[in-house]
Amino acid sequence: MKGHVGKMIDELTIEIQSRQADDGSFHFCFENSLMTDANMILLLKTFTKEKALINDLADRLASLQHHDGYWQLYEDEEGNISATIEAVFALLYCGYYQKNDPKVKKAYTFILANGGLGKAHSLTKIMLAIHGQYPWPNFHHLPIHLILLPPASPVSFYDFSSYARVHMAPILLLSDRRFIIKNKEIPDLSDLLLRMEMEPLQAETRGLLSNIQTAIQDLAGIPHRMYLLARQRLTTYMLQRIETDGTLYSYFSSTFYMIYALMSIGYRKNDPLIKHAIQGLKSHLCETDRGPHIQNSPSTIWDTALLADVLQQNASLINSSKVFLAHHQHTKFGDWMINSPNTMPGGWGFSKSNTIHPDVDDTTAALRALHKDKHLQNNFTRGLNWVLAMQNEDGGWPAFEKGKTNPFLKYVPMDGAESASIDPSTADLTGRTLEFLGADVRFTLNDPNIQRGIEWLRNHQEKDGSWYGRWGVTYIYGTWAALTGMRAVGVSADDHTVKKGIHFIRKCQNEDGGWGESCRSDVVKTYVPLKASTPSQTAWALDALMSVEGNVTSTIEKGVRSLLRQLEVKDWTYRYPTGAGLPRNFYIYYHSYNYIWPLLVLKKYLSLDDSSE
């Protein structure tokens, strides 16, 4: 089989090489949930005279409709009401479908059968409210004065995660004005707005809102002036974080809300700031096998860093990639400095346009690629110092900023608040950071930072031996990161925590030898098998096994055979999303993952000695 493995490594490497840009970067499509395509249609229809791109996006969006009338976020989901609302609204608005079209009627039937517009995700309701299809006051309860509250308050604006803040700023401005954009072509969805009693807020949510109101009442100043100051600070916060490509933090979603927020404070449709933002979002376009797709955040830095690492032996191929990565290391201070004031910039972001919003995972990925280059040691040291500074007090690592762990924020009355409002330590970030520190920096069990990270992982292992992965799907992802991280810093293969984790990986192996986990795991917060195998999840499981076993076992052999088949067949599992953004709402098929992770484990497989289980 080693000959077959070697041939697949060559094929993957050749394909990757063909995708390298002139600047040394690699970019594969970041194919996320359809929200970005639907909302891009709305922007283009409202703010431009663009027709060709609208039609191309609409063609792809229409092609994704299930024969039962709904749209879904992943293959084994039996319809998603928010996605269906977003898709049908966009297709009606741009004139692709008319209300009496049979496909629209089937979508309406699904939406009504599942509770109507009132059952949509909060972000979908905000889009509808902007277009006059859902009442603003009915679901948004946070006052704009939140941004005026001092850090000593039970809750303040800067307690929220960075990605929450950058969406909250424009949304608070919009909801405060109850902004509605006027356009006679906006479709009327009132047939889908069912009468229903509002669900009462949780006691914890009521307590949170009460505390916020009490803190606001304690603010000193003339009420109207405080109100104007709050709006001014939210506007300034938003404008100061626009990147050079016109986008807000390089995210489609936050830029979408920003554009309408600018309208709500008096900007005209043809204002250069709005035109530049839309042009920036158009640069997020990538091609899929069904047509163009608008990425929420292009994954150029992530793809380039991971591929440069796995291709370390191909020096001629990745030298320019290292130069590209070094050029995109951050030199500006971002919001992360609030809780790390003595730390110099040195991280990397996810997208090429990102200059002020670094994250731990992209930074360790870039550092893996650079660590052997003696000419880039200054870059490496700055990046390493930044990563170490982001370690939370509890010992784990967050995604973007340390210290964003206020437990009250889980009760913000927005869908997904428990995941989006805070940026806590996670098993995937902690495990991958430990793996980098052990494998590439040679930190050992004697280091206090390592000890704290290991202790965090021990304390957060599930009863079945798994770990929850926040940014991938889900328990296979988290368990892979935790196990490879612990092993890299010297935790024994006979350690009880490690053995429990490997037992979980073993019992999840499918009959075909591979591994596959459903996105539903991310929703119900327990492992849900996909009942099929995916390349990236199979590779993660194999990497975990190899890190513990140290030689080729029958389980590993069976898994590698399955992985080779998956890479050759390329059925629906090849496109199944294994990246996660927001539970129930946002999943990602990283096109690069079917190259990066299989290539990593196939190379490792060839380096192992044969054994028997």
For the record, the structure tokens of 174 come out as 């919009």
Looking at the DSSP bridge assignments, the partners of residue 133 are none
Question: Residue 598: which of 563, 551, 554 has the closest Cα?
Answer: 563
CA–CA separation, 519 vs 77, rounded Å?
8
Contacts of 80 (CB under 8 A, 6+ apart): 70, 71, 72, 73
- For residue 361, indicate whether it is catalytic: yes
CA–CA separation, 264 vs 170, rounded Å?
10
CA of residue 598 relative to chain centroid, distance: 21
Q: What is the 3-state secondary structure (H, E, C) of 442-456?
A: CCCCCCHHHHHHHHH
8 Å CB contact between 30 and 298: yes
Question: Residue 490: which of 429, 452, 434 has the closest Cα?
Answer: 434
* Phi/psi of residue 199, nearest 5 degrees: -70, 135
Half-sphere exposure of 259 (CA within 13 A, CB side): 30
CA–CA separation, 421 vs 122, rounded Å?
13
How many residues are recorded in the chain? 613
Q: Look at the block and give the residue holding tokens 């360790």.
A: 364
Q: Which residues of 334-350 are buried (b: 16+ CB within 10 A; e: fewer)?
A: bbbeebbeebebbbbbb
Q: Which of 335, 361, 394, 522 is catalytic?
A: 361
Q: Look at the block and give the residue holding tokens 């496109």.
A: 575
Question: Cβ atoms within 10 A of the Cβ of 405, count?
Answer: 17
CA–CA separation, 383 vs 405, rounded Å?
23
For the record, the structure tokens of 532 come out as 């099929």
CA–CA separation, 151 vs 116, rounded Å?
40
Looking at the DSSP bridge assignments, the partners of residue 610 are 552
For the record, the structure tokens of 374 come out as 């003696």
Q: Is 287 helix (H, G, I), strand (E, B) or coil?
A: strand
Question: Cβ atoms within 10 A of the Cβ of 500, count?
Answer: 17
Q: Where are the alpha helices (DSSP H) in 444-519?
A: 448-459, 475-488, 496-507
Q: Is 124 helix (H, G, I), strand (E, B) or coil?
A: helix
Contacts of 184 (CB under 8 A, 6+ apart): none
How far CA 395 is from CA of 358, 362, 424, 425, 515, in Å, comes to: 20, 19, 11, 8, 30
Task: Tell me which residues are annotated as active site.
Answer: 361
